[in-house]
Structure 1
Amino acid sequence: MSHLIPIVEFAKRLVQHHHISATIFIPTTGTPPKSLVSVLESLPENIHHQFLQPVNVDGLPKDVRVEFVVSFIMQASLSSLRDALSCLKSKTKLVALVFDMFAHASMEVAKEFNLFNFLCCPLSAMALSFTFTLPKLDEETVGEYKDLPYPVQVPGSVSFHGPELMAPVQVRTDEVYKEYLLLSKRLSLVDGIMVNSFEELEQDTILALPGGTPIYPIGPLIRSEPSNGSDWHECLKWLDDQPSGSVLFVSFGSGGALSLEQIHELAHGLEMSSHRFLWILRSPNKVSFASVFTDSSQNDPLGFLPEGFLARTVNRGLVLPSWGPQIEILSHEATGGFLTHCGWNSTLESIVHGVPMIAWPLYAEQHMNAKMMTESLCLALRLEMDENGIFRKEEIEKVVKELMEGDEGKKISKRLKELKTAAMRALSIGGSSMESLSKLVLQLN
């Protein structure tokens, strides 16, 4: 979902502003989840979608990493993609194939059909800049990146110690690393790269990107249609009753999960802070990336919370199991802060709505995002772990109070208001992102 949404929003902009029709192909392993279907059903009439033939993943090991599973599905879908493109070519004039980072193997299919091939990068310009540097880093490095005695400088951005680098590159002997390295080597072969960022946010990094491949900053690409769900409307009614800017929104995205111990520490920290909160809470998990299809339909989906927590915080807190309307919550007047896993979609949504953040990274490139947000862009406060890798309740209490009422929180809030205006300006007619999109369309003609 986090990769599909930027693709969908990009297609909407093409259709709305440049009258180019689009068809979105979606690889599957069976019946698509309702959340995905709801996004696709909201598309304008001139944006079509087609599910490719389901891929059987039953033979994969149960403990295989999710990035490998997605890459496997993409590779196994190439034949179905060829058939779909052949059928589409018989009905309309095909110009370009836009592919996600996981689907870079489809470049070969684009060549077969004599199409432009464009990468739609759902990550930040910083993450893209790092990806460009990976081949050289791979040649120069012996052993694992986590053991590097020096930080890795990302052109145009901050530097990162080995353990802070994105999850796909942490184990160099892993198939996931080999796949990401292959993607990095292919960046110079594409006809252009759309990046989900905008000049006013990451100007230095965008300028530092290599000049050989056309780069189009066309962000922020965030979900624009409203969410559905009767339970969610209830949470928005609850927000209506809260004072302006008083609520801390807590969410770790569609796949983020915490251990039971960490959930208890977070609950106690929120309670100790005495601030209002709206918490989207998934069931505890030993790994930080849980399946987005985890079933939360048990009779007591919040029974794992500390005893008495819900009763003690009933007048200033609301906890929703598993899901919530994030865009609507962030855009609500009562929301004054966002404790986030630093996924790039969530970060951009917070920027667009001017909500200051607390960074709590979990997986993927989120640790890199968190460092950039706290050290370079000044959009978030950072929590400090103890020696056991746990954020303790006292630390959570301290940082929540600083964000919601302290001087640092006020500085971040001011910075976010400026960026909110800049994001709106970038997406307006003549703005930097709209001009970038126009240049991309010129390349197609």
Structure 2
Amino acid sequence: MESKKTCIAMVPSPGLSHLIPIVEFAKLLLQQHNDYQITFLIPTLGPLNPSMKTILNTLPPNMDFIVLPQINIEDLPETHEPATQMKLIVKHSVPFLQEAVKSLISKTNLVALVFSMFSTDAHDVAKQFNLLSYLFYASGAVLFSFFLTFPNLDEAASTQFLESSYKTVNVPGVSDPYHVTELPDPFLCERSSDTYKSILDVCQKLSLFDGVIINTFTDLEPDAVRVLQERQKPCVYAVGPIIRNESNSEANMSVSLRWLEKQSPNSVVFVSFGSGGTLSHEQLNELAFGLEMSGSKFLWVVRVPSKHSSSAYFSGQKDDPLEYLPNGFLERTKEKGLVVTSWAPQVEILGHGSTGGFLSHCGWSSTLESVVNGVPVIAWPLFAEQKMNAKLLTDVLKVAVRPKIDDENGIVKREEVAKVIKRIMEGDESFVIRKRIEELRDGAANALSENGSSRKALSDLALKWH
């Protein structure tokens, strides 16, 4: 009788941005340990979007997926905070998850469940079936260290953080404290709010897992990784950097890459605020004038402006973003720059020899992509944990510069935009920064090499699952 294959089930948080990293992690695992079967159990509020369908329908052999039954939106309290909503979707999907796990156990040798950050409410399912439980943490070790510490900080706070006695917060593994305004937004809500209670509950559950798989590598965050690994529980595996190898199958045909082919090495600043970041109309204009003043070549992904910095995550864009640019801007800069709307193949652009700088919102995926490709950063964080990532890049790793915000209106002025572009693209400071990030690039490659720290961590994890 044929023995059952060892199976790992993975439960991503709802949404494309959570599915991609866990799928990439699974691919990396199977590249090095192809004797596993991996099944994704997908909680959902509605039909899968086309991008998610494409990813799931093109999974390699040894991977499959089960879309759990949709939960009823009327069962959810009304919330506009994405992390809270994701957590609630998973919580209401637990009965479906239990059935799916029971079915997998009958057909395979299921040994572990791997959860995303906002799937922690399903942790008890692993316990119920006597399975190992792991968290796949798609961000960095510093942020995870803060999450682990937060329940203790909460106990000592009498009111919300911004109004409490806290002005700064010490994070284990980080020498300089963070100012409270640099923390992710949910931590700064009223303590009585659902958003705050939701993120606190996530943090309190982190120590329950048998292990945590973190998308970072030792050379990038050595002190934070060391501090986490010195804890008895959870056991921490730094297996990164895990990034997508390509944006999509048609990316090489894009207008962006054809334009880059005509530019000199390291001459272009790539400007992008990730898959959801948006600027106000006033800030959009100042950025445009700053790019023009800098005299540098640029490739800019433009979105329709909004007062809400994460608005593109939640709504499609009906207007033409180009209509919001300053009058005559496109004509005046046509020899210097290329403006594309809404999306560009970021992975390929950062890997192109003509790209010399990256004006970025500092999301963790973008942070890793800039490091892996050795591209210096202009750090322009907008929301979520991006301010913490920006501090790591500028103050700790020293591979980024950060524009000063005008105190009067909270805007980065055009003169400041031009100044930071010149700092990253020209002169001695640029040379030093480029040298540092190229060293990190080599460290990233070494971590994933045969005897590297991340490769070893992944082997240790695979051994544990066997």
Give the TM-score taking structure 1 as reference length: 0.95
Deviations 1:324-352 (A, max 9, x none): 11100000011000011010010001100
Find the residue that maps to 1:142 and give its secondary structure: coil
Aligned to 2:49: 33
Find the residue that maps to 1:200 and give its secondary structure: coil
For 2:252 and 2:454, the matched residues in 1 are separated by 35
The one-letter code of the counterpart of 1:208 is V
5 Å-filtered alignment, 1:141-160, equals 141-147=157-163, 148-157=165-174, 158-160=176-178
- Contact 2:363/2:389 (8 A) holds in 1: yes
Aligned to 1:102: 118
Aligned to 2:289: 268
- Contact 1:42/1:225 (8 A) holds in 2: no
Aligned to 2:254: 233
Give identity over the alignment, percent.
47
For 2:359 and 2:39, the matched residues in 1 are separated by 36
Stretches of structure 2 that go unaligned for 5 or more consecutive residues are 1-15
Q: Do the aligned partners of residues 389 and 55 (structure 1) sit closer, same or farther apart at CA in structure 2, a change above 3 Å counting? A: farther
Find the residue that maps to 1:314 and give its secondary structure: coil
Aligned to 2:267: 246
Which of 206, 212, 224 is the equivalent residue of 1:187?
A: 206
Answering whether residue 183 of structure 2 is matched by residue 162 of structure 1, we say no
Aligned to 2:366: 346
Deviations 1:413-433 (A, max 9, x none): 111111111101101111100
Find the residue that maps to 2:23 and give its secondary structure: helix
Aligned to 1:310: 330
Find the residue that maps to 2:134 and give its secondary structure: strand
1:180 shift after superposition: 1.7
Aligned to 1:223: 244
Deviations 1:112-132 (A, max 9, x none): 121100011111100011111
Q: Do the aligned partners of residues 161 and 282 (structure 1) sit closer, same or farther apart at CA in structure 2, a change above 3 Å counting? A: same
1:8 shift after superposition: 0.9
Which of 394, 397, 412 is the equivalent residue of 1:374?
A: 394
5 Å-filtered alignment, 1:407-422, equals 407-422=428-443
Find the residue that maps to 1:105 and give its secondary structure: helix
Aligned to 1:67: 83
Aligned to 2:23: 8
Which of 328, 335, 351 is the equivalent residue of 1:331?
A: 351
Find the residue that maps to 1:439 and give its secondary structure: helix
Find the residue that maps to 2:73 and give its secondary structure: coil
1:54 shift after superposition: 2.0
Which of 128, 151, 164 is the equivalent residue of 1:135?
A: 151
Find the residue that maps to 1:201 and give its secondary structure: coil
The one-letter code of the counterpart of 1:155 is P
1:378 shift after superposition: 0.8
For 1:42 and 1:391, the matched residues in 2 are separated by 42
1:139 shift after superposition: 1.2
1:68 shift after superposition: 1.6
Give the TM-score taking structure 2 as reference length: 0.91
For 1:215 and 1:352, the matched residues in 2 are separated by 22
- Contact 1:251/1:279 (8 A) holds in 2: yes
1:38 shift after superposition: 2.9
RMSD after superposition: 1.8
1:315 shift after superposition: 1.1
Aligned to 1:54: 70
Aligned to 2:12: none
For 1:252 and 1:434, the matched residues in 2 are separated by 31
1:229 shift after superposition: 4.1
Stretches of structure 1 that go unaligned for 5 or more consecutive residues are none
Find the residue that maps to 1:367 and give its secondary structure: helix
- Contact 1:245/1:336 (8 A) holds in 2: yes
Deviations 1:226-274 (A, max 9, x none): 4144796121101101111111011111111111111111111111111
The one-letter code of the counterpart of 1:320 is V
